Amino acid sequence: MPRSLENFNLGKVLGEGTFGKVFLAEYKDTKQLCAIKTLKKERIIAKNDIKSVFKEKRILQKVTSAEHPFLVSLYATFQSENHLFFVMEYLPGGDLCHLLEHQGAFEESKAMFYTACVVLGLEELHRNNIVHRDLKLENLMVDVHGYLKIVDFGLSKDGFKYGDCTKTRCGTNCYMAPEIIDEMAYSRAVDWWALGVVLYVMIMFQFPFDAEDDMELFESIRNDKPALTEELSEEAQCLILRVSG
């Protein structure tokens, strides 16, 4: 792919993050649709986050080289005077958060199918010594064939081998494992905890740990067991409990 914004027709805004927006775009020569993530250099510098942006690029390049069906692909990167651009695979099915908002709780079979996609994606990340650290509904998107792909590696850490640990507190509160909350050493297992939360929400249409503020939420994550109904199959109950601790 080219390395200039002039080679694309920009469309609607698909999302917005800390450093910029994600646009639907069309590559003029082939009419191929893609997603272009724009990052404002000024914001990156202001937040002293230059290393994190280059780390995300490095991880995306590694993920793309693996050509894994359940991990998003990076097509190209380039820059202008004021922006950095990541040209990425367009995933037209949207993210799980929006799907759940429109469809309600998933049937177990659908939830299990999506979970299987994420399991295989996480296994590939971990095989390449990458821990995601921000697995959540918004970072799981459906491709044109109906499969789920893991996206957004902004908080990921590479060079993270089996048995390695870190104490950096990051992620999204309601998906955090207890060891992250308590700033204890944690391993790649935190990704599996987050997947357990995702599975629970897909089936139950609510979060396993809920509270009125962050302090109560963290106490619930530390001490409570997810409430499971008799409507869930034994297989689903076992998987939720196994994955989420």
**What mean pLDDT comes out for the span 143-153?**
97
- The verdict on whether 143 is a catalytic residue reads no
180-234 pLDDT, tens digit per residue, is 999 999 999 999 999 999 999 999 999 999 888 999 999 999 999 888 887 788 8
- Asked whether residue 53 carries a pLDDT value surpassing 90, the answer given is yes
**What mean pLDDT comes out for the span 74-90?**
95
- Asked whether residue 117 carries a pLDDT value surpassing 90, the answer given is yes
Which residue in 30, 35, 32 sits closest to 13, CA to CA?
A: 35
149-177 pLDDT, tens digit per residue, is 999 999 999 999 999 999 999 999 999 99
Which H helix or E strand runs over 221?
Answer: helix 214-223
What pLDDT is stored for residue 112 in this prediction? 94
What pLDDT is stored for residue 17 in this prediction? 77
- Asked whether residue 2 carries a pLDDT value surpassing 80, the answer given is no
103 burial (CB, 10 Å; 0-12 / 13-18 / 19+) is exposed
What pLDDT is stored for residue 208 in this prediction? 92
Please, which pLDDT band fits residue 11 given cuts at 50, 70 and 90?
very high
62 is in an annotated binding site: no
**What mean pLDDT comes out for the span 59-64?**
96
Q: What is the pTM of this model?
A: 0.93
Please, which pLDDT band fits residue 243 given cuts at 50, 70 and 90?
low
Q: What is the mean pLDDT of the chain?
A: 93
DSSP per residue over 140-191, as a string?
A: EEE-TTS-EEE---TT-EES--TT--B----S-GGG--HHHHTT--B-THHH
What pLDDT is stored for residue 244 in this prediction? 61
* d(C-alpha 18, C-alpha 238), whole Å: 37
Out of 95, 134, 152, 191, the active site residue is 134
* d(C-alpha 226, C-alpha 223), whole Å: 10
Look at 3 and 78; give whichever has higher pLDDT. Answer: 78
What pLDDT is stored for residue 238 in this prediction? 83
Q: Which amino acid would we find at residue 177?
A: A
* d(C-alpha 114, C-alpha 96), whole Å: 9
